[in-house]
Amino acid sequence: LVVSICLVGAFLGCMLSGWIADGVGRRRAFQLSALPMIIGAFL
């Protein structure tokens, strides 16, 4: 189940990343997408 949720999130991220990058810029979009991984690493 966890792997399936991860794959669904990756699919949605691929579909929405262009719009997000156009809206906030590529650098900011990359920083925002890395934020959950950084928080998870600290936990």
- pLDDT at residue 41, as a whole number: 82
- pLDDT at residue 30, as a whole number: 84
- pLDDT at residue 21, as a whole number: 86
- pLDDT at residue 6, as a whole number: 79
Which residue in the block uniquely carries the two structure tokens 């990359």?
A: 30
Distance from C-alpha of 33 to C-alpha of 15, rounded to nearest angstrom: 14
Which residue in the block uniquely carries the two structure tokens 């991984």?
A: 37
| SS3 (DSSP) at 15 | helix
- pLDDT at residue 12, as a whole number: 85
Distance from C-alpha of 26 to C-alpha of 18, rounded to nearest angstrom: 9
Low-confidence spans in the chain with pLDDT less than 70: none
- pLDDT at residue 5, as a whole number: 80
Distance from C-alpha of 9 to C-alpha of 15, rounded to nearest angstrom: 10
The two tokens of residue 11 are 């699919």
What global pTM score does this model have?
Answer: 0.54
